[in-house]
Amino acid sequence: MSEQSTDLRESVRQRYAAAAVQVTDGGTACCGPQPVEVDENFGSTLYAADEREALPAEALAASLGCGNPTAVADLREGERVLDLGSGGGIDVLLSARRVGPTGKAYGVDMTDEMLALALSNAAKAGVTNVEFLKGTIEAVPLPAATVDVVISNCVINLSTDKPAVFAETFRVLRPGGRLGVSDIVADDALTPEQRAERGDYVGCIAGALSFAEYRTGLEAAGFTDVEITPTHPVADGMHSAIVRATKPTATGTPSEDTGTTDACCGVDACCTSAEAATDPALTVTEAKSASGCGCQN
């Protein structure tokens, strides 16, 4: 990572650590937690009233996103969902309720203060099917093919290595898994310099990708069915947008020799620790490459 990227990441970490401390300290005051100051394009007001009522005040106060990814991710009972940059836990808690007791919601965040706040919010909400992990969205601390859905709320634009984020998202999703995020996206006509003129990096503006760049990045990582739908403007030529994409379902013909029914990509038990090439003359990597498999991990 370059020195500039390291400095930007540290600026992001400091901003969100300070936000968590503000909420935590405010929670001990007579009037409850003090919301982090954001304009009307960001924050808990973007959630439905019934969703806000079901959450601790601290989770709402720490909300800094530009949308409501849980409303667009089509979460289903029993699924496993991962929130990239989970902050105070608002989207993890809402996701946990949607997937129910047979499902699970993970949150990954690099900020100790936000992780502590999220754990506190989960306890206050009485939600147990959650797990908060310390890590970065460029190196998610989960095994491959672990989750059914990845969500995120105005966080990918903060990364200094978005190709790594897209690659990690693809890696942790199971074949057929879905991406459903809210993020800031720029008009294709805006240069990086023009985006920076409209807002700073930690404010979610300067680091935003354009519509074309976002699509190209997701497709380069292996995603299909990419949809990017703007929802409301946040600056001149900058939009909050819903981004959806799918990890292709690996397909293949069951091996006649082994009789297995779960072979794909020329591999039995694909994307598990037991995977093995159906053709004993090939390695797993060779088999996947020969079949054009999208699951290369």
Model pLDDT for residues 98-111, shown as the tens digit of each residue: 999 999 999 999 88
Of all residues in the chain, the percent with pLDDT exceeding 90 is 43
Determine the pLDDT at residue 21.
55
The answer to which of 90-94, 209-213, 287-291 has the lowest mean pLDDT is 287-291
Could you tell me the end-to-end alpha-carbon distance of the chain, in angstroms, rounded to an integer?
23
Residue range 115-137: average pLDDT?
Answer: 92
Q: At residue 41, does pLDDT exceed 60? A: no
Name 182's bridge partners: 153, 242
Q: Which of 153, 158, 157, 99 is closest to 131 using CA atoms?
A: 99
Q: Which of 32-36, 96-100, 132-136, 237-241 has the lowest mean pLDDT?
A: 32-36
- Read off the pLDDT band of 121 (50, 70, 90): confident
Two tokens at 3? 């020195």
100-124: average pLDDT: 92
Higher pLDDT, 65 or 101: 101
131 against 293, higher pLDDT: 131
- Please enumerate in sequence order all residues whose Cβ is within 8 A of that of 177, keeping only pairs 6 or more positions apart, or say none: 147, 148, 149, 150, 246, 247
Per-residue pLDDT at 42: 46
pLDDT attached to residue 31: 38
Token pair for residue 146? 């672990």
Query: To the nearest whole percent, how much of the chain has pLDDT over 70?
Result: 60
**Tokens in use for 185?**
């996206």
In Å, what is the CA distance from 227 to each residue of 92, 207, 216? 23, 20, 11
Closest CA to 106 of 126, 79, 124: 79
pLDDT attached to residue 213: 97
> Which range among 9-13, 66-70, 129-133, 258-262 has the greatest average pLDDT?
129-133
Residue 204, both tokens? 């979610």
Distance CA(89)–CA(101), nearest Å, equals 17
CA atoms 160, 146, 221, 77: torsion sign: negative
| Reported confidence tier of residue 288, pLDDT bands at 50, 70, 90 | low
Report d(CA 283, CA 297) in Å as an integer. 13
Question: What burial class does residue 116 get, using C-beta atoms within 10 Å of its C-beta: 0-12 exposed, 13-18 middle, 19+ buried?
Answer: middle
**Torsional class of 292: left (φ above 0), alpha (ψ -120 to 50), beta (otherwise):** left
Strand partners, 185: 209, 239
Q: What is the mean pLDDT of residues 92-101?
A: 92
Across the range 77-97, mean pLDDT stands at: 91
Least confident of 1-10, 73-82, 119-128, 245-254: 1-10
pLDDT of residue 8: 61
Mean pLDDT taken over the chain:
77
d(CA 202, CA 271): 36
Which of residues 46 and 226 earns the better pLDDT score?
226
Residue at 170: amino acid letter: F
